Structure 1
């Protein structure tokens, strides 16, 4: 008994110690709960609720705004693990965390410390201040007042509106992040341009995967012709093609694969835009222009908590302008080969045309030079295409035969020129009639004489044995020449008209002869 009695106080002391510990834990829990309530009360007094920042309220690095349904979060983040001191204010998809940042406020002006603070001002709306109180970013909200609030909507849109307004229409917002997209397009966002205000809704890529600064690629609306979506990197890289009501012409697989969202096109006098809308019950979907200019369509799979990517443009490097295709036969070659072939054909045709023109000009100059040397038009140029069966003699040969038309070789002179005797070659005796420049015999009369001379059978122009009969008019003694054998030669005659052998006379209106 003594032993049992001696052990009882020690057991009682042990139980008392346990009670004291439990009481201490309860006191600590109550203190923490009180502090949490006070902190919440202080936050409410400062203008912070779950999704809304009231005028004068602020959030610091480490605090966030959460949309009503919890889908989106607004807060500070660092995309780079190597440079964690660079802090940005952005919106991300809550379930995926900062791996799915949708919008960045200060993408080109990062904060260098974690002392940044977002303030809701009654003058300019939202202001992002660094540790020294300098403004790193501002919404520059027109019409902001003491009753203005900032709210993160369940659509992922950060808006500034009047506190009394509960409308979700864009017209009721004083400012909204959907009007200033970064690299991501969400359901309900516009893509295009307001023709009235000049506001443009476009996407700009990040500089790198861990750097949200403005990158090299821009995806904009091309309003020349049918509205088209084009990605630029200094010059156009690729385009989706115009919208035909079911898909973009450059992405025909949209009709069968893209049941996740649909496109609403607005083409009016005030704006030309595409509006992205998701179908009911569709998991969260976003369209991203990544840092290498690729457009990604990403669907969140809640069960596996991963992003599923759907094909878009460019599917591969060959969707870029002037890039390769399969089999190492680039689109450059596909374009340049026919272009170069056409250029070569046109060049060859042009050179041939130039050669023909030069040849004709050379011939024309040669003919003109020959005419200038001859001093008058010889038979080949004045008889046209008539086949007169008459050999042509150059002026040089005629001049040599007549001793350059010397007076000693002159046989006589008629009404239209002089007749000279000459010797062609060694044994061909000729008589040459040289027309005077001031005389009135024309080309047509000269042609008639040459044709008749060619067709007359007798070279001495005798009527006997001639195939043709000639009317002789004004036949004078001076026109009859006699050779050494006293055979008559006619130096000039009037050729008015040719008539047949069974005719005795003919009428003519042409005055000819001497």
Structure 2
């Protein structure tokens, strides 16, 4: 019985001394060894030995207690142990040391306090501290001689505070990623503060910039898109100018929540918090989120917008440095300036600034002492090396003299960036505008050609008397629900929407009839097109427009929302275009045509179109896809010259714009045909090419004109050598005729059953 009792006392002593006791600190006489652990006072965090998933190695670390395992600090991250036989001890001189099973020091705090009166303790913040007691008075706080918060691994915890040197060009690391989820050794991604110009958060990948937050303005990092939900939550940066240091602290507003910032092995940084309802760590914020967040995705003088395709484009006044690479989606080579800056040139030719809104400002910031925006502007303008500036109230003046790199367009947030450009580049980008209009027009013409094919395929019959047409429309289209869209509206609904077709709501009038702005009961703005009795158009035209537009969906074309057929009233409902349509910028140009089901490159009894845009064969009643090419050629020449085809007079010795272009082409004076606003030396060759393509499109014989696909290839320079154009029609004045007769003499010899002009 005595032996059993003695054995019980021995086991109780052993358990309490080595295994089962709760240790709250480490002293020179009381080390920590597996499976013992330190637990913070409130039980939130724990320090002990752990082995990562799928790893045979052991480490000494700190993690959240009683939660999903989340290690926040590792002592021996680059020197693992092969088993759990390690010991964490405090040496007699106050140095915290980790020894392996062979009693070798594999990690140390590298501190010497020269005193035995020291302890190591895990605080509720997750900070492991070595304290030195220099007084027997319990009210005197011990001095902290070492703390883990000053040596973070891959996690930033609330309460951490670092002081770094604010030296220009210095990279100050805060914490570094693990190499992999099963290997806590130092990975390739380092998060820290870059202090060139103004402090910014950076992630470096093997020493190369990978992501940055934009500069700190005293409250937030202004290079983040949604500033109210960003990585700045809880961050505080204090610039101590007197001693050249920065204090960096992380202190979330709500201290009751368990927050942390973690850098993973793939270069992502996450702000996470513990959610008790889901019993898991949830992500509050992460970066980088898109390709545009990656540092310098679009290269020098390129700007990135992840909501556009492609995401990269050159800033205004710049063009791709390597056009071939850009077309393949490799933008790293960036862009180069088109027109040199004109620093010091006389008035009227001076450089100016283009305002770019909602921008992430470039890297390589140079901070000026100017605290007034006008002063910032003048200082940059008077400095020939200044490429742009930005003014932020809490920062002052930021300027750039090096390549603008890592520029991003935001949908919200960011700041204004003032880009310095030569005077000629400050105008509305003529080359880009020309290209955009040409591209849109080519698309429209191509789609119209597709509609012709659609009509042929559908086999729509347009013969017969008007009464039969109406009956056929009501029976076939409405009765058999051929057109399930667009929906039908009553006359009263549209009358109410337009305030009884009030004159003040009238938007304009065309060959079809007047167009009114209206508001439906749903508060949706609409445009109502009301067929006019004097238009010379009837049910056939109405049917044509309903069928064509309702079946045709394209981002560059207005959408048909519905129609009204009630008595003699025939109306079409379109989406309202507050900024007008493309036709408003092409002299209000418009055409509409009627084709029968059996009319494929055949004769049509009715020709509907706009004078000056109809090809000669179409005016004679013949049509083909080359008729659209002709119309496009006229528009192209109008765009380049900035003049309408019908604005020529006897003094110019030309009946039309085509004749004027043809005359100058043969005389070698085609440069004078260009609109002066786009006639710049650096893209004259492109404009001359466009003129030549336009003349090829308006050749008199349809078989001589290129197809629309060939036209596109010509404009994109895929066709290197262009053929010489032949003489277009309608080029010469009839000297014996008066102006009115001359403008119509080009079609006097044609036999046309019906000619309707819109």
Check whether the contact 2:176–2:191 (CA below 8 A) recurs between aligned residues.
yes
Aligned to 2:212: 239
Structure 2 residue 223 is matched with structure 1 residue 253: no
Residue correspondence of structure 1 range 198-237 to structure 2 within 5 A:
202-233=174-205, 234-237=207-210
Which residue does the alignment assign to 2:118?
Answer: 148
Q: 1:50 aligns with which of 12, 20, 23?
A: 23
- Alpha-carbon distance, 1:36 to partner: 3.4
Q: 1:90 aligns with which of 58, 61, 64?
A: 61
The 8 Å contact of residues 191 and 201 in structure 1, kept in 2 or not, is answered as: no
The alpha-carbon distance between structure 1 residues 279 and 183, as it changes in their structure 2 partners (threshold 3 A), is same
- 1:172: how far off? 2.7
Matching of residue 294 in structure 1 with residue 268 in structure 2: yes
Per-residue CA deviations over 1:310-356 (Å, capped at 9, x if unaligned) read 12321223310233834552447679963539747469x9xxxxxxx
> Is this contact kept in 1: 2:270–2:283, CA < 8 A?
yes
**1:175 pairs with 2:146:** yes
Asked if the contact 2:172/2:194 (under 8 Å) is kept, the reply is: no
Distance 1:242 1:144, change over 3 A: farther
CA contact (8 A) 1:192 1:202 kept: no
3-state SS, counterpart of residue 319 of structure 2: helix
Alignment partner for residue 39 of structure 1, among 2, 5, 15? 15
Q: Name the counterpart of 2:639.
A: none
Q: CA deviation at 1:203?
A: 1.1
Structure 1 residues 333, 58: closer, same or farther in 2, change over 3 A? farther
- Counterpart CA distance in 2 for 1:122 and 1:29 is 38
Matched, 1:276 2:257: no
Distance 2:173 2:52 in 1: 24
List per-residue Cα deviations over 1:191-241 (Å, max 9, x = no partner).
561469x99551101101111010011111111111111111131111112
Q: Deviations over 1:30-86 (max 9, x none)?
A: 976873355325689xxx8632111232111221100111111000111123x3x30
Match of 2:319 among 313, 322, 338: 338
Equivalent-residue separation in structure 1 for 2:185 and 2:57 (angstroms):
12
Query: SS where residue 272 of structure 1 aligns?
Result: strand
With over 3 angstroms needed to count, the CA separation of the structure-2 counterparts of 1:230 and 1:344, relative to structure 1, is closer
Match of 2:295 in 1: 321
Rounded Cα–Cα distance in structure 1 between residues aligned with 2:16 and 2:171: 40
Give the 3-state SS of the residue equivalent to 1:338 in structure 2: strand
Q: Does 1:125 align with 2:95?
A: yes
Q: 1:193 to 1:235 in 2, by over 3 A?
A: same
Does the aligned pair in 1 maintain the 2:319–2:338 contact within 8 Å? no
CA distance in 2: counterparts of 1:211 and 1:345, whole angstroms: 50
Match of 2:78 in 1: 108
Provide the C-alpha distance between the structure 1 equivalents of 2:184 and 2:85, rounded to a whole number of angstroms.
20
Change (3 A) 1:60 1:41: closer
SS for the counterpart of 1:68 is coil
What does the per-residue CA deviation read over 1:423-480, in whole Å, with 9 as the maximum and x for residues that have no partner?
xxxxxxxxxxxxxxxxxxxxxxxxxxxxxxxxxxxxxxxxxxxxxxxxxxxxxxxxxx
Aligned partners of 2:314 and 2:320 also within 8 Å = no
- Rg larger for: 1
The aligned residue for residue 75 of structure 1 is 48
Listed as ranges, the matches of 1:276-425 within 5 Å are 276-323=250-297, 325-331=306-312, 338=319, 340=321, 343=336, 345=338
RMSD: 3.7
Name the CA distance, whole Å, in 2 between partners of 1:293 and 1:193: 23
Structure 2 unaligned regions, length at least 5 = 298-303, 324-334, 343-758
Name the count of aligned residue pairs. 315
TM-score, normalised with respect to structure 1: 0.54
Do 2:318 and 2:338's aligned partners in 1 also have CA atoms closer than 8 Å?
Answer: no
Q: Secondary structure at the residue paired with 2:107? A: strand
TM-score, normalised by the number of residues in structure 2: 0.38
- 32-41 or 59-68, larger mean C-alpha shift: 32-41
Question: What is the Cα deviation at residue 251 of structure 1?
Answer: 2.6
288-297 or 329-338, which moves further after superposition? 329-338
2:402 match: none
Q: Do the aligned partners of 1:60 and 1:115 also contact (CA within 8 Å) in 2?
A: yes
8 Å Cα contact 1:192/1:274 also seen in 2: yes
Match of 1:62 among 35, 48, 61: 35
1: CA distance, partners of 2:277 / 2:13: 35
Tell me the secondary structure at the aligned position of residue 278 of structure 1.
Answer: coil
Paired position in structure 2 for 1:380: none
**Is residue 221–residue 230 contact of structure 1 (8 Å, CA) maintained in 2?**
yes
Q: After the TM superposition, which residues 463-482 of structure 1 pair with which residues of structure 2 at under 5 Å, given as runs?
A: none
Looking at structure 2, the residues matched to 54 and 298 of structure 1 have their Cα atoms a distance apart, in angstroms, of: 34
After superposition, give the CA deviation of every residue in 1:80-129 in whole Å (9 maximum; x if it has no partner).
Answer: 23x3x3001100011325x3100001101000122111111123511111
* CA distance, structure 2, for counterparts of residue 336 and residue 123 of structure 1: 66
- Conserved? CA contact 1:86–1:110, under 8 Å: yes
Does the CA-based 8 Å contact 1:139-1:175 persist in structure 2? yes
Q: State the Cα deviation string for residues 367-401 of structure 1 (Å, max 9, x = none).
A: xxxxxxxxxxxxxxxxxxxxxxxxxxxxxxxxxxx
Instruction: Give the whole-Å Cα distance in 2 for the aligned partners of 1:168 and 1:71.
Output: 26
Which residues in structure 2 correspond to 1:10-25 (within 5 Å)? none
- Indicate if the aligned counterparts of 1:125 and 1:138 stay in contact, CA closer than 8 A: yes
- Alignment partners' CA distance in 2, 1:289 and 1:167: 39
For residue 266 of structure 1, report the CA deviation from its aligned partner.
Answer: 1.7
Query: Residue by residue, what CA displacement relative to the aligned partner does 1:405-425 show, whole Å, maximum 9, x if unpaired?
Result: xxxxxxxxxxxxxxxxxxxxx
Unaligned runs of 5+ in 1: 1-23, 350-514
Deviation at 1:144, TM superposition (A): 4.8
